[in-house]
Amino acid sequence: MTIADNISGTSKGQSIDQPDSNINIERQMIVILDFGSQYSELIARRIRETEVYSEVISYRTTAEELSNINPRGIILSGGPKSVYAKGAPACDPEIWNLGIPVLGVCYGMQLMVKQLGGKVEQAARGEYGKASLKIDDPIDLLTNVEDGSTMWMSHGDSCVQLPEGFKILAHTDNTRCAAVADHDKKLFGVQFHPEVIHSEYGSALIRNFVYHICVCEPTWTTETFVEESIKEIRARVGDKRVLLALSGGVDSSTLAFLLHEAIGDQLICMFIDQGFMRKGEPERLVEIFDNRFHINVEYIMARDRFLEKVKGVTDPEEKRRIIGHEFIQVFEEESDRLGPFDYLAQGTLYPDVIESADTNVDAKTGERVAVKIKSHHNVGGLPKNLRFKLVEPLRKLFKDEVRKVGRSINLPEEIVSRHPFPGPGLAIRILGEVTARKLNMLRDADFIVRDEIKKRGMYHDFWQVFAVLLPVKSVGVMGDQRTYAFPVVLRLITSEDGMTADWAKPPYDLLEAISTRIVNEVDGVNRVVYDITSKPPGTIEWE
């Protein structure tokens, strides 16, 4: 979490029409042309897992621009449209003449077939979910992909006639052309989604494309990234001072360690204690950064100020807005006191850039192709009159890559493996009005949840674990006395990336221990309930 993590801005983010200007385009890379698929980001992550750099760019990128980028391979993503629908997105047809290997996924395959003279029609029967892949040609793309293995389908159209030079590599019971190829031109297509976890040999297929077809080498490593980043930071910053809003989360902490490695005492970290942190976290943060690793941290106590601002506020979006606005106010006041600074360091990650992009809009119709998931605070929520130049060394990375970088530069494991925590903190885990008493109740309950899970060595079994305090009361009995107190909701979830999530199925004795301790140790709570809602339809946080 950085300064902008506390803002609920809605302005447009940076374009991803072109690759990040900080990227060394001489590095081997695979580009993903985004046609609006919810899985485009996941494709990029799967490629990077092979230690080859990947990047998501607009489908409108021209063949000439791609030639200048000089990727080792191109992947055409899926998308929500039919290739024959009005306004359906299409890539530059000159892409097929670049001599660069191309893999079309779902919509991307259908577009390839259509543009090269084949035929795509609405299928007599759509195919959604798991399907058994029957392999007809086990070479190149399907090497080491097991015949009969499960792949994930999601399509209503099918290829019914292939372009000249193409052959069928695999089929399913419902889809004759489940995988196709023109081996001579190195053009490949799959009707399924190899990037999703449900596709058993999807990773093997991706590795085949990256290593055997595109002939890439594993050059995207943590060590290389750290080395290059330190050089870039030193060259950009010179002898100037850098300010970083530190939260203690994985992103800002990794960034702090990386910047300190690069520029030492030129870095000043500001930690604003707004009163919504978990039990003991502010003190622990200062102990680790300032005392143990001697990274300059300015501790700003602002608890009373923030609590007064949210007094009487019950609407969750209003809470977020107020907290974000006040955070900016405090930050600007304190930066004036501590300054001057030339640079502001931001923990922007690559998903922030992708998810905040507003690039896939048809210029003529105004129709969106890739739906913007969210306008991310780091990318689009900063004040227009920002007085600093930005330094964003992590904007190339996914979350799992940030954790690898953190470990490589000796960030303590308790921070590297820390569960995600929202910028507004406990204020959005207290439904309704936030008060000092409710904050103390929730801090104690939340501590018990994490303490019991850690004692059992189960902390890493979950994506997130936390407690929520509801704005209602229920009747209970404690010591033969009637009670009328608040209920606490337990939220324990599992997830791969936070985009989707499922409620965890922990042992009953763990839930019992947590419930018993909360009711006995947290004054004002007499009931504990368990949230068994997945995402979707719910969200991870309650507000």
Catalytic positions are: 106, 193, 195
Q: Please, what sign has the CA dihedral across residues 278, 395, 323, 527?
A: negative
The alpha carbon of residue 470 and the mean position of all alpha carbons in its chain are separated, in whole angstroms, by 28
The one-character DSSP state at 133 is: P
Give the contacts of 148 (CB within 8 A, at least 6 positions apart): 132, 133, 134
The alpha carbon of residue 21 and the mean position of all alpha carbons in its chain are separated, in whole angstroms, by 21
Sequence-separated contacts (24+) of 478-482 with Cβ below 8 Å: 478/519, 478/526
Helix (H) or strand (E) holding 415: helix 413-416
Checking DSSP bridges between strand 150-161 and strand 134-135, what pairing results, if any?
A: unpaired
Q: How many CB atoms lie within 10 A of CB 402?
A: 22
CA distances from 401 to 220, 247, 250, 254, 397 (A): 10, 19, 11, 11, 6
Instruction: Write down how long the chain is.
Output: 543
| Alpha carbon distance 244, 1 (integer Å) | 10
Nearest by Cα to 271 from 247, 291, 307: 247
Instruction: Return the SS3 of 445.
Output: helix
DSSP characters for 239-287? T--EEEE--SSHHHHHHHHHHHHHHGGGEEEEEEE-S-SPTTHHHHHHI
Please answer whether residues 119 and 111 qualify as being in contact, where contact means their C-beta atoms are separated by less than 8 angstroms: no
